[in-house]
């Protein structure tokens, strides 16, 4: 690894993704769900999608790979040098005189984890970068303040729902179809369990579409960047675990009426008395289908189910 440019050890935000891959000496393996983002313009934009008031003092990245995004995140926390594409309205900690934050990157592939520690040795030594080697679904997550990541698509759902309950700002790349389901509204064809569950924790929005050509190797589908801004929902649920389980249950019967969905899915929701729930629900609501109910309607229905259906423990 002798082709590192002068000054790269203490200036971040401009490393070339292709050069990083060459120095790593290992290509991304699609069989291991590795598709590295290599478009500089997209990489530069990702940290800027964090909400203006997001706490950038400890950024988390999941799936560091050869470090192209890691490099941009180190710039965003002011670890050395300015982030590429900084403008007058930049809100990162890289502003002159701003505090220096830190980055934690989770990488399960040992060769890439070792490369990240070597490539960014100065940041590791300074305490501004920590490389956690392991599976993002199994390692203990640090006390991060925000997350920016190009997620492995095969486990994107599981990772997203490890992160969302932490109520932190998230900027995550997903397959475009998955992203569209996250942000869908009641009545739309993409609306489902994923929509209700994600929107329970945050305001979710697609902020950019990414073509296949921005990745190496290219995935089979297009991707999208989703921003999740944490918020408290405008409804209350007495038991969050039951609420999410109830939503999951009803969407397994999305083409049925709510009446039949409640009765047919007691084994999933854990209701002991589904008929008692049906008797307690307004007739107009019973005739609708799950895909037409917004999250607040699901919450109200779940509370009735808890009150009248004696839900068993999960």
* Residue 249 falls inside a structural domain: yes
Partners of 225 in the β-ladder:
173, 208
Domain hosting 268: range is 240-309
Q: How far apart are CA 150 and CA 119, in angstroms?
A: 19
Partners of 216 in the β-ladder:
36
pTM equals 0.88
Q: What is the pLDDT of residue 312?
A: 63
Q: How far apart are CA 223 and CA 67, in angstroms?
A: 19
Q: Is 107 labelled as part of a ligand binding site?
A: yes
Q: Are 79 and 124 in contact (CB under 8 A)?
A: no
Where does a domain end: 230, 255, 273? 230
Q: How far apart are CA 235 and CA 297, in angstroms?
A: 9
Where does a domain end: 160, 195, 230? 230
Measured over the CA atoms of residue 265, residue 268, residue 274 and residue 279, the dihedral's sign is: negative
Give me the numbers of helices (H) and strands (E) for the chain, helices first please.
14, 9
* Residue 142 falls inside a structural domain: yes
Question: Based on the domain organization, do 49 and 74 belong to the same domain?
Answer: yes
Question: Based on the domain organization, do 71 and 194 belong to the same domain?
Answer: yes
Cα end-to-end span (Å), the chain: 52
Most distant pair of Cα atoms in the chain: their distance = 73
Question: Based on the domain organization, do 145 and 186 belong to the same domain?
Answer: yes
What element of type H or E holds 248? helix 240-251
* Residue 2 falls inside a structural domain: no
* Between residues 314 and 105, the one the model is more confident about: 105
Q: Give 3-58 as a DSSP string.
A: -PPTTGGG--S---HHHHHHHHT----GGGT--EE--HHHHHHGGGGS-TT---SE
- Domain of 109, CATH number, reads 3.40.50.150
- Domain of 265, CATH number, reads 1.10.8
On the 0-12 / 13-18 / 19+ scale of CB atoms within 10 A, 29 is: exposed
How long a stretch of residues is the chain? 314
Mean pLDDT is lowest, of 8-12, 21-25, 274-278, 303-307, for 8-12
Q: How far apart are CA 166 and CA 137, in angstroms?
A: 14
* Residue 25 falls inside a structural domain: yes
Q: What is the pLDDT of residue 1?
A: 36
Q: How far apart are CA 65 and CA 21, in angstroms?
A: 9
Q: Is 16 labelled as part of a ligand binding site?
A: no
Question: Based on the domain organization, do 153 and 207 belong to the same domain?
Answer: yes
Q: What percent of the chain has pLDDT over 90?
A: 80
Question: Based on the domain organization, do 57 and 122 belong to the same domain?
Answer: yes
* Residue 314 falls inside a structural domain: no
Q: Is 93 labelled as part of a ligand binding site?
A: no
Question: Based on the domain organization, do 198 and 257 belong to the same domain?
Answer: no
State the residue for tokens 């999740």.
Answer: 228
* Residue 235 falls inside a structural domain: no
Give residues with Cβ within 8 angstroms of 41, minimum separation 6: none
Question: Based on the domain organization, do 150 and 258 belong to the same domain?
Answer: no
Q: What percent of the chain has pLDDT over 70?
A: 88
* Residue 225 falls inside a structural domain: yes
Question: Based on the domain organization, do 274 and 190 belong to the same domain?
Answer: no
pLDDT tens digits, 137-188: 999 999 999 999 999 888 889 999 999 999 999 999 999 999 999 999 999 9
Quote the number of domains for the chain.
Answer: 2
pLDDT tens digits, 186-241: 999 999 999 999 999 999 999 999 999 999 888 889 999 999 999 999 999 999 99
Question: Based on the domain organization, do 245 and 197 belong to the same domain?
Answer: no
* Residue 40 falls inside a structural domain: yes
Question: Based on the domain organization, do 172 and 224 belong to the same domain?
Answer: yes
Question: Based on the domain organization, do 261 and 190 belong to the same domain?
Answer: no
Where does a domain end: 230, 257, 289? 230
Residue 4 predicted with pLDDT over 70: no
Question: Based on the domain organization, do 245 and 201 belong to the same domain?
Answer: no
Give residues with Cβ within 8 angstroms of 47, minimum separation 6: 59, 72, 73, 75, 76, 83, 92, 148, 171
Residue 56 predicted with pLDDT over 80: yes
Q: Is 133 labelled as part of a ligand binding site?
A: no
Q: Is 150 labelled as part of a ligand binding site?
A: yes
Q: Are 269 and 312 in contact (CB under 8 A)?
A: no
């Amino acid at each position: 690894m002798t082709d590192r440019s002068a000054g790269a050890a203490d200036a971040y935000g401009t490393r070339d993704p292709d050069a990083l891959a060459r120095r790593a000496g290992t290509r991304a393996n699609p069989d291991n769900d590795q598709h590295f983002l290599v478009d500089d313009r997209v990489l530069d934009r990702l940290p800027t999608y964090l909400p203006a008031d997001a706490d950038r003092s400890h950024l988390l990245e999941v799936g560091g790979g050869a470090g192209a995004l890691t490099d941009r995140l180190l710039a965003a926390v002011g670890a050395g040098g300015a982030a590429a594409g900084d403008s007058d309205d930049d809100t990162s900690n890289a502003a002159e005189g701003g505090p220096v934050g830190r980055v934690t990157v989770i990488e399960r592939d040992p060769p890439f984890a070792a490369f990240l520690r070597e490539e960014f040795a100065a940041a590791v030594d300074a305490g501004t970068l920590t490389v956690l080697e392991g599976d993002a679904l199994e390692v203990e997550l640090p006390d991060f303040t925000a997350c920016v990541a190009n997620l492995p698509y095969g486990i994107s759902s599981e990772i997203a729902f490890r992160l969302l309950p932490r109520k932190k700002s998230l900027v995550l790349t997903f397959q475009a179809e998955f992203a569209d389901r996250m942000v869908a509204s009641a009545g739309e064809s993409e609306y489902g369990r994923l929509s209700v569950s994600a929107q329970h924790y945050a305001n979710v929005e697609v902020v950019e579409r990414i073509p296949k050509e921005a990745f190496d190797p290219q995935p089979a589908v297009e991707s999208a960047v989703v921003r999740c801004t944490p918020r408290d929902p405008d409804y209350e649920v007495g038991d969050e675990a039951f609420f999410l389980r109830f939503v999951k249950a009803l969407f397994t019967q999305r083409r049925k009426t709510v009446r039949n969905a409640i009765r047919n899915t007691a084994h999933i929701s854990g209701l002991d008395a589904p008929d008692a729930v049906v008797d307690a629900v307004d007739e107009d609501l019973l005739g609708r289908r799950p895909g037409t109910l917004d999250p607040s309607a699901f919450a109200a229905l779940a509370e009735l189910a808890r009150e009248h259906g004696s839900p068993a423990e999960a």
